[in-house]
Chain A
Amino acid sequence: MPTSTYEPIEAKTLGSATSSVTFSTIPNTYTDLVLVANYTTTSANVDVRFQVNGDTGANYSYTYVLGNGSAAGSGRLANSAYIGGYFSVGTSTNGNISIYNLMNYANTTTFKTVLQRMSSAEKELTANVGLWRSTSAISSATIYTSSSTFTAGSTFTLYGIKAA
């Protein structure tokens, strides 16, 4: 049997509303991580943000392209306390999708890059590249809302990918 290279690390389905979801004690045995979130929020027009290792300091930056179905734009934010934002989900009846790719997340030599795709067919979509200015291995990841909460039934799954 071939060696499994794409493995679920942890899957969460919310039993009740919550404003943040954290994957803690992420093993350092994979090469890359993929985090897939499919969620609705209790209120409309909230931002969905991303942090790692519980770092709430101004140690992030990100650049994004955004479209809302009538206009497109781009921007960036340096010295930010999170990655993401500028993504305002629609009403809480249809699932939004956020996919985070963290390559080489466990190395202790380089800063960490995050590639994000965020999709709300009701509101807007973005593609972001984020940077966490730390050489620490990523051991936890948090997705949270700027206000409101993720609704019960929202799903969040962390996968690990092995290069060999």
Chain B
Amino acid sequence: MATTFTKIADYTVGSGGASDITFTTIPSTYTDLVLKVSLRSTLGGDYFLFSFNNTSANFSSRYIYYENTSVSSATLARYGGRINTTYSTASTFANTEIYIPNYAGSTNKSYSSDSVSEENGAAAPGSLIAGLWSDTSAINQISLIPSSANFAQYSTATLYGVKNA
């Protein structure tokens, strides 16, 4: 029986950190992509951005942001999700799942992201994101870039392909 949910690649940040996490040569043979990440920053940058196919152009997103007792909504192009910072409780990482349907099709690409950063501290924001890459190209490369500094050691990212048949 064909496998429906398949790991394409995974990445673990080593000592010294990483300025980005990039998945290249993504095959076009799946229906959807799922990206599961667990991230921490080496400094204060508390969110990450996307680039697809090595471009940061033509992105948009709107999101819900919640923290402690407040909730708000705003827009931020390329927004992917949260990162725990170097100031967060030790050994805590923010977790995000991103779903990209029909990533290899010929229409503009949408994505849905759910991100949390609980750390038993003063602030533990979460985000729900609706994103769009206004480009009809098939996605063959995905990069995650921290808003500042680098991803810290032990940050992980795994890319899965989902087949609908």
Contact B110 A67 (CB under 8 A): no
Query: Which residues on A sit within 8 Å (CB–CB) of B99?
Result: 36, 97, 99
Known: A36-B101, A99-B99. A67 touches B63 (CB 8 A): yes
Contact A159 B4 (CB under 8 A): yes
* Contacts of A100-139 to chain B: CB distance below 8 A: 117, 119-122, 124-125, 127
Chain A min CB distance to B103 (Å): 10
Contact B62 A94 (CB under 8 A): no
Contact of A78 with B by CB under 8 A? no
Query: Which residues on A sit within 8 Å (CB–CB) of B75?
Result: 69-70
Contact A71 B163 (CB under 8 A): no
Contact of B123 with A by CB under 8 A? no
Chain B contributes a number of interface residues (CB within 8 A of A) equal to 38
Interface centre among A70, A93, A97, A153 (most CB of B within 10 A): A97
Chain A min CB distance to B49 (Å): 15
0 or 1 for each of B124-150: is its CB under 8 Å from A? (1 = yes): 000011111010000000000000000
- Main secondary structure on B side of the interface with A: strand
CA distance A36 to B99 in the complex (A): 10
Known: A11-B165, A93-B108, A96-B110. A121 touches B102 (CB 8 A): no
Contact A67 B64 (CB under 8 A): yes
0 or 1 for each of A137-149: is its CB under 8 Å from B? (1 = yes): 0000000000000
Interface residues in chain B, defined as those with a beta carbon under 8 Å from any beta carbon in chain A: 1, 3-5, 31-32, 60-66, 71-75, 99, 101-102, 107-112, 114, 128-132, 134, 162-165
- Of all chain B residues, the one with the shortest Cβ separation from A8 is B164
Contact A8 B101 (CB under 8 A): no
Chain B min CB distance to A147 (Å): 21
- Of all chain B residues, the one with the shortest Cβ separation from A6 is B5
Contact B63 A4 (CB under 8 A): no
The 9 residue pairs across chains A and B that have the minimum distance between CB atoms: A67-B73, A119-B130, A69-B62, A121-B132, A67-B64, A38-B101, A125-B130, A11-B164, A72-B73
A–B pairs, 22, beta carbons within 8 Å? A4-B4, A6-B4, A6-B5, A11-B164, A36-B32, A38-B101, A65-B64, A67-B65, A67-B73, A69-B62, A69-B75, A70-B73, A94-B108, A95-B101, A95-B107, A95-B110, A96-B110, A117-B114, A121-B62, A124-B62, A125-B62, A159-B162
Contact A8 B110 (CB under 8 A): no
Chain A min CB distance to B1 (Å): 5
Chain B min CB distance to A77 (Å): 19
Contact B128 A67 (CB under 8 A): yes
Query: Which residues on B sit within 8 Å (CB–CB) of A155?
Result: 101-102, 164
Contact A38 B102 (CB under 8 A): yes
Contact A68 B110 (CB under 8 A): no
Query: Which residues on B sit within 8 Å (CB–CB) of A119?
Result: 110-112, 129-131
Contact A117 B73 (CB under 8 A): no
Contact B72 A72 (CB under 8 A): yes
Contact of A157 with B by CB under 8 A? yes
Chain B min CB distance to A129 (Å): 13
Contact A69 B165 (CB under 8 A): no
